[in-house]
Amino acid sequence: MKRLRVEEPPRSSSPMSAAEAAPLFALQPVQTLRRRWPALLATIITVAMLIGVAQELLGHGLAGLRRAVPTSPGFYLFFIISYFALPLCDYAIFRRLWNVPPSAFPALIRKRIANDILVGYTGDAYFYAWARARLEMVAAPFGAVKDVSIVSGITGNLTAFLLGAVALPLGYQLIAPDVVRGMIWSLTFALAVSLGVLIFSRRVFSLPRGQLWMVFWIDLLRIAVTCIAIALAWAWAMPSVSVGMWLFLVAGRQLVSRLPFLPNKDLLFANFAFLVIGHDRALSDLMAFTAASTLLMHGLLLLLFGAVYVMERAREWRRTA
């Protein structure tokens, strides 16, 4: 009977001691952290959004909801259209860029909420972290998120400049001269920054020119839809004011929101709205109710997303149990 000979595996000519192998094991937590940092960042921003929305609602948001509540269903219909115009257009953009799945839409809503509640561009950081955690979907998300944000800013500055060119000659007599000068300087600065970015576009942007134009046109559509929808919502709430006057007021609102050097933008817009439309108490109640409704939508959507997340995790736990 032949004996089976079991050969020992060849030993390495340069054996590694335990002390030498230890650093390799020590690197594993670092690598795990690098893989998980997008999820950690997204979680931190989500918690900050919840805290911010709660503070805003408990601070003055609920008081706005107690004001005169519009009874017309048209107000709520066009308000919802204006609310979802931004995430829907963002979804259309990233659908074309990355072919994102429908699960990206809730992330884009969180992006909008974070930009509204927290520091500017926090939502863009959140969406970058969301995309970074899904590298099988896209290889380099930072360049695309950066380019979309820059093009969105340029589009907003361009529309503000065009609206200022139309609105200031018509309404400069209603505004204090020093405020008019501040608006002109702010518009000039915003336009100069946008032109500077366009001049050095090859160094700034990473997306092809065709995709940048696509982002620009969708952003322009988003601004138009948002302005028209909120003007129609206010027209349904206060039918005594013409739709054209509301459109003029919304144009002024869009203009004021894009001016970088003006303090107390909300107060400036409120004074401008009162001078243009009048109805001091009714107008202030409508503005407060609109702002409070936006905060309420933020809170309800965050709670909905949180409930869905908990249900999904519970379902996974049941499968593995």
- Domain positions in the chain are 39-54+73-305
pLDDT tier, 19 (very low <50, low <70, confident <90, very high otherwise): very low
pLDDT tier, 204 (very low <50, low <70, confident <90, very high otherwise): confident
What is the pLDDT averaged over residues 222-229? 93
Q: Which residue has the tokens 């204090």?
A: 176
pLDDT tier, 30 (very low <50, low <70, confident <90, very high otherwise): very low
pLDDT tier, 21 (very low <50, low <70, confident <90, very high otherwise): very low
List of residues 6+ apart from 9 with CB closer than 8 A: none
The pLDDT assigned to 40 comes to 66
35 pLDDT more than 70: no
pLDDT tier, 22 (very low <50, low <70, confident <90, very high otherwise): very low
d(CA 283, CA 270): 9
Enter the pTM of the model.
0.76
Pick the more confident residue, 14 or 317.
Answer: 317
Q: What is the per-residue pLDDT across 76-127, written as a single tens digit (0 to 9) for each?
A: 999 999 999 999 999 999 999 888 889 899 999 999 988 888 877 788 888 8
Pick the more confident residue, 67 or 122.
Answer: 122
**Ordered DSSP codes for 4-71:** PP-PPPPPPSSPPPHHHHHHHHHHHHHHHHHHHHHHHHHHHHHHHHHHHHHHHIIIIIHHHHTSPPP-
279 pLDDT more than 70: no
**In sequence order, which ranges of the chain are alpha helices (DSSP H)?**
18-56, 62-65, 73-98, 104-117, 122-132, 141-171, 177-199, 201-204, 209-237, 243-257, 265-277, 280-320
What separation in angstroms does the CA of 300 have from each of 55, 61, 131, 310? 14, 13, 24, 15
10 pLDDT more than 60: no
pLDDT tier, 43 (very low <50, low <70, confident <90, very high otherwise): low
Q: What is the per-residue pLDDT across 230-267, written as a single tens digit (0 to 9) for each?
A: 999 999 988 888 888 888 788 777 777 776 656 556 66
Check if the beta carbon of residue 74 is closer than 8 Å to that of residue 233.
yes
